[in-house]
């Protein structure tokens, strides 16, 4: 009898333990709809590493990834696959800001937490954890305005017209330059976030406007634009925004370029994952995510690299491959600090 | 005796050959069934009613766009602007419905406008390719840039929600049956009717041998323009589905669908050179593309390999299709 009771107790304990262990384990789906750059690969790798780091805190976080070049319906299929798979949360770098409203509603109905990162989404059933693209654009413009002492002719090389991140970044620099009446934007072109097109665009701009003092240019296109500036032997006369890959940071250090770079770190998805795991534990945010145009955003700090901290940035990417991006993420502890 | 012994395999081979000639989509259908079974094995929920409804809901747009592409390919042409037309129709109807107040009449007027926009784009393509005699692949690439530009003009950045009545209908149920299932049946009937029209035969005749078609008195230019016009209409229908599934306007939503529509056509057994094929095959081809994408995930492919595996899987599907039809024709 005694034996039987102890056996029963043991079973109860085991059941309770496994139930507890079960409650601590989460399955999170990561969806990426574009694999055109190493930044996206790094984004997923950092998120996977962040998930593994939760093990020390006693949580098994399993990530399942869907990452491929897909059209919008293809990425909607990603979300539907995750619903079929029965994940606890979905973190998505979305191909469209608005197209996922119905499918996110479906995910929420199935009890799934949805977080978008890198690009904001309009769905009230999702939240956004990432940087404010408008502030990102403004930060580069602030640096440029300060470096030029508030006057001079400026050109802008933008990404894909109509892409929401691009439009927000453009709105960001326009707002800043509008505050400096002596800074004149003489031309704005689109180079589709393509390094070669950025180089070509800069060449054309240099040929058209001999008196350019500043260039506002985004991401990988900056490396292309700087190539043209250096080819024209104008690197001592022009200040231009830069980018965050190791190759460029090395060039920047070596040639002492007059540059400054807003950082959109590939670690944003890892940050979103840490927030997701805390939310899945039913913890409550100190400040609910209500920022941004859709009222569902939680903005992360935007690091900025300029001559004052270039050496630190170079140190972080030392020994990494040339395409590795300078990164930053919300650690578990930093994320925990945001919760009650 | 020996004659009789040899005869049955001969008729069997002949039968398969005739079956594939009559129904060129049979190999694709076989691949589709295999993919459904595999998806079901790895993730049973993906082939449940909810899963299949989701699949149709997601890929109805690509099915329609593949159909659009097929009518152009029938005549030996191609339409690289198909996805751009989807974008343009999407933003046009969203903007129109929003401006008209979003009621039932606004939705219907918006859809009517969408059909007109699709038709107009198709006719523009037709005129540029058939009447002005520019190379289809380059000319429609150019019009795709033009249509995308128009879409960006109509709606510069993604946004503007669709009227609730519209997307709730698309995603909802009537008499407990998902709306998209009715749409799929309606599409099947429409395709069946179209397949029996003179137009289909004429398009195929032009694609088979343009010179011969011309010499036998067919109005080749007009037929090719009609093919593009029909493609424009089906692209508009594809845009309706995208709008129903995404409930919003996005000027870049369709761009990447163009090449998928071409791939679906080829997977379905239609010859890109023209003159041979079926729209049914293209519909199946669209589903194959969707199911391959899901299967790659359900079998647990590591993320860095997913693009590669997906590409290889589509190639294999293409090869299987071609080998089966070639074997049958021999």
What confidence tens digit (pLDDT) does each residue in A158-172 have?
998 888 889 999 999
Backbone angles phi, psi at B296, to 5 degrees: -55, -40
CB A257 within 8 A of CB A235: yes
Establish if B296 touches chain A: CB-CB under 8 angstroms. Answer: yes
**Chain A residue at shortest CA distance from B296:** A66
pLDDT digits (tens, 9 = 90+) for B107-156: 999 999 999 999 999 999 999 999 999 999 999 999 999 999 999 999 98
Class of domain A2-131+266-303+326-336: alpha beta
Determine whether the interchain pair A73/B257 forms a contact, defined as Cβ–Cβ distance below 8 Å.
Answer: yes
Q: Which chain A residues are within 8 Å of B151, Cβ to Cβ?
A: 162
A122: which chain B residues are within 8 Å (Cβ-Cβ)? 159, 161, 248
User: How many cross-chain Cβ pairs, A to B, lie less than 8 Å apart?
Assistant: 138
Cβ contacts of B254 on chain A, cutoff 8 Å: 71-72
Query: With an 8 Å Cβ cutoff, is B307 touching chain A?
Result: yes
Q: Let me know: does A163 contact B252? Beta carbons within 8 Å.
A: yes
B248/A77 Cβ within 8 A? no
Q: Indicate the SS3 state at residue B68.
A: helix
Q: Are A35 and A69 in contact (CB under 8 A)?
A: yes
The minimal CB distance from A161 to the residues B152, B242, B300 is found for B152
Assess B297–A contact: CB distance below 8 Å, yes or no: yes
Print burial letters for B63-96: b (CB count within 10 Å at least 16), e (below 16): bbbbbbbbbbbbbbbbbbbbbbbbbbbbbbbbbb
Residue B307: per-residue pLDDT: 85
Question: Distance, in angstroms, between B215 CA and closest chain A CA?
Answer: 42
- Per-residue confidence (pLDDT) for residue B164, from 0 to 100: 82
Coil, strand or helix: which one is B312?
A: helix
Predicted pLDDT of residue B240:
94
Instruction: Write down the pLDDT at residue B328.
Output: 65
Confirm or reject contact between A122 and chain B (CB < 8 A).
yes
Mean pLDDT, rounded, of chain B? 88
Which residue from B minimizes the CA distance to A77? B58
pLDDT per position in chain A (340 positions), as tens?
A: 455 555 555 454 444 444 444 557 999 999 998 887 789 999 999 999 999 999 988 899 999 999 988 888 889 999 999 999 999 999 999 988 888 999 999 999 999 999 999 999 999 999 999 999 999 999 999 999 999 999 999 999 999 888 888 999 999 999 999 999 999 999 999 998 889 999 999 999 999 999 999 999 999 899 999 999 999 999 999 999 999 999 999 999 999 999 999 999 999 999 999 999 999 999 999 999 999 999 999 999 999 999 999 999 999 999 999 999 999 999 999 999 999 8
Residues 69-128 (B) with a CB less than 8 A from some CB of A: 83
- Tell me which chain A residues have a C-beta less than 8 angstroms from the C-beta of B61: 73
Residue A44 sits at the chain B interface (C-beta within 8 Å): yes
Q: Is B54 on the interface with A (CB under 8 A)?
A: yes
Contacts of B307 in chain A (CB under 8 A): 35, 67-69
A84 to chain B, any CB pair closer than 8 A? The answer is yes
Q: How far apart are CA B102 and CA B162, in angstroms?
A: 8
| Residues of chain A contacting B246 with CB distance shorter than 8 Å | 72, 76, 96, 98-102
A102/B167 touch (CB, cutoff 8 Å), yes or no: yes
Does A102 contact B158 at a Cβ distance shorter than 8 Å? no
Q: B55: which chain A residues are within 8 Å (Cβ-Cβ)?
A: 77, 80
Using DSSP's 3-state secondary structure scheme, residue A160 falls into: coil
| CA atoms of A174 and A167, how far apart (whole Å) | 10
Question: Phi and psi of A149, rounded to 5°?
Answer: 55, 35
Looking at the partner chain, which of A66, A163, A167 has a beta carbon nearest the beta carbon of B306? A66
Assess whether the region A2-131+266-303+326-336 and the region A133-262 belong to the same CATH fold.
yes
Domains and CATH numbers, chain B: 24-329 (1.10.3470)
Q: What is the pLDDT of residue A19?
A: 44
Q: Which of B252, B257, B309, B314 is the mutation pick for testing A, counting most A CBs within 10 A? A: B252
Q: What ipTM score was computed for the predicted complex, to two decimals?
A: 0.80
Residue B97: burial class (beta carbons within 10 Å; 0-12, 13-18, 19+)? buried
Pick from A44, A66, A85: CB nearest B43? A85
Distance from chain centroid for Cα A277: 18
| Distance, CA of B144 to CA of A170 (rounded, Å) | 25
Q: How many CA atoms lie within 13 A of B211 on its CB side?
A: 0
pLDDT of B9: 45
Torsion of CA A196, A201, A206, A212, to 10 degrees: -110
* Beta-bridge partners for A239: A214
B273 CB-near residues (< 8 Å, 6+ apart): B76, B207
Query: How crowded is the C-beta side of B153, counted as CA atoms within 13 Å?
Result: 6
Query: According to the model, what pLDDT value does residue A16 have?
Result: 46
From chain B residues 242-261, the ones with a CB under 8 A of any chain A CB are: 242, 245-257, 260
Distance, in angstroms, between B35 CA and closest chain A CA?
Answer: 15
- The domain locations on chain A are 2-131+266-303+326-336, 133-262
CA distance A120 to chain B (A): 11
Only one residue has tokens 């492919």, namely B301
Residue ranges of chain B with per-residue pLDDT less than 70: 1-14, 328-330
A133-262: which CATH topology? Rossmann fold (3.40.50)
From CA B244, how far away is CA B58, in angstroms rounded?
Answer: 10
User: What's residue B170's pLDDT?
Assistant: 87
Comparing CB atoms, the residue among A44, A67, A73 nearest residue B242 is A73
Spatial separation of the C-alpha atoms in residues A68 and A34, rounded to whole Å: 6
Q: Which positions 57-76 of A are in contact with B (Cβ < 8 Å)? A: 64-74, 76
Among B residues 149-208, those touching chain A with beta carbons less than 8 Å apart: 151-152, 156-161, 167, 171
CA proximity to B297, closest of B287, B312, B288, B307: B307
Q: What is the pLDDT of residue B264?
A: 93
**Sheet of A183-190, strand order:** A183-190, A152-158, A212-217, A239-241, A259-262, A304-305
Asked whether the beta carbons of residue B245 and residue A41 sit closer than 8 angstroms, the reply is no
Q: What pLDDT, on a 0 to 100 scale, did the predictor assign at position A20?
A: 45
**Residue contact A99–B158, C-beta within 8 A:** yes
């Amino acid at each position: 009898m005694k034996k039987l009771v102890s056996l029963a107790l043991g079973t109860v304990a085991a059941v309770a333990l496994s139930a507890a262990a079960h409650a601590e384990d989460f399955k999170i789906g990561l969806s990426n709809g574009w694999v055109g750059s190493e930044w996206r690969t790094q984004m997923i790798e950092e998120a996977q590493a962040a998930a593994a780091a939760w093990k020390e805190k006693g949580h098994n976080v399993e990530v399942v990834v869907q990452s491929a070049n897909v059209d919008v319906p293809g990425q909607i299929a990603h979300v539907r696959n995750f619903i079929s798979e029965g994940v606890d949360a979905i973190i998505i770098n979305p191909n469209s800001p608005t197209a996922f409203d119905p499918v996110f509603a479906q995910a929420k109905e199935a009890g799934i937490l949805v977080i978008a990162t890198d690009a904001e989404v309009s769905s009230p059933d999702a939240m956004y954890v990432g940087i404010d693209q408008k502030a990102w654009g403004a930060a580069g413009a602030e640096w440029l305005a300060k470096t030029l002492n508030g006057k001079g002719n400026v050109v802008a090389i933008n990404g894909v017209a109509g892409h929401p991140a691009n439009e927000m970044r453009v709105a960001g620099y326009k707002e800043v330059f509008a505050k400096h009446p002596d800074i004149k934007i003489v031309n704005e072109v689109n180079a589709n976030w393509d390094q070669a097109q950025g180089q070509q665009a800069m060449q054309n701009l240099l040929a058209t406007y001999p008196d350019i003092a500043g260039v506002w240019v985004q991401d990988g296109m900056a490396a292309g634009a700087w190539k043209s500036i250096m080819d024209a032997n104008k690197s001592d006369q022009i200040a231009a925004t830069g980018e965050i890959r190791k190759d460029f940071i090395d060039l920047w250090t070596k040639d002492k370029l007059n540059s400054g770079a807003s950082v959109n770190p590939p670690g944003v998805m890892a940050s979103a994952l840490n927030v997701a795991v805390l939310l899945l534990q039913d913890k409550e945010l100190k400040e609910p995510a209500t920022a941004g145009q859709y009222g569902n955003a939680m903005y992360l700090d935007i690091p900025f690299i300029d001559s004052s901290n270039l050496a630190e940035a170079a140190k972080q990417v030392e020994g990494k491959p040339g395409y590795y991006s300078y990164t930053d993420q919300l650690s578990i502890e930093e994320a925990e600090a945001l919760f009650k | 005796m020996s004659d009789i012994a040899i005869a049955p395999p001969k008729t069997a081979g002949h039968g398969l050959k005739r079956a594939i000639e009559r129904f060129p989509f049979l190999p694709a259908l076989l691949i589709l069934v295999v993919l459904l079974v595999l998806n079901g094995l790895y993730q049973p929920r993906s082939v449940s009613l909810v899963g299949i409804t989701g699949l149709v809901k997601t890929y109805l747009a690509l099915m329609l766009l593949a159909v659009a592409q097929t009518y152009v390919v029938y005549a030996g042409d191609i339409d690289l602007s198909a996805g751009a037309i989807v974008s343009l129709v999407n933003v046009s109807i969203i903007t129109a419905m929003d401006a008209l107040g979003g009621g039932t009449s606004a939705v219907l007027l918006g859809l009517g406008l969408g059909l007109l926009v699709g038709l107009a784009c198709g006719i523009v393509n037709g005129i540029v390719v058939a009447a002005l005699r520019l190379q289809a692949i380059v000319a429609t690439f150019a019009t795709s840039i033009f249509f995308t530009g128009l879409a960006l003009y109509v709606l510069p950045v993604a946004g503007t929600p669709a009227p609730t009545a519209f997307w709730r209908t698309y995603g909802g149920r009537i008499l407990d049956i998902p709306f998209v299932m009715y749409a799929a049946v309606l599409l099947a009937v429409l395709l069946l009717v179209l397949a029996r029209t003179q137009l289909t035969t004429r398009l195929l005749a032009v694609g088979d041998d343009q010179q011969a078609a011309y010499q036998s008195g067919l109005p080749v230019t007009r037929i090719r323009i009609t093919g593009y016009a029909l493609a424009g209409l089906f692209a508009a229908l594809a845009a309706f589905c995208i709008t129903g599934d995404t409930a919003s306007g996005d000027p870049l939503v369709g761009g990447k669908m163009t090449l998928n529509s071409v791939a679906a056509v080829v997977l379905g057994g239609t010859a890109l050179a023209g003159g041979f094929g079926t729209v049914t095959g293209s519909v199946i081809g669209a589903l194959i593309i969707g199911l391959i994408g899901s299967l790659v995930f359900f079998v647990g492919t590591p993320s860095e390999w997913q693009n590669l595996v997906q590409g290889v899987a589509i190639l294999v599907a293409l090869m299987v299709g071609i080998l089966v039809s070639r074997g049958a024709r021999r």
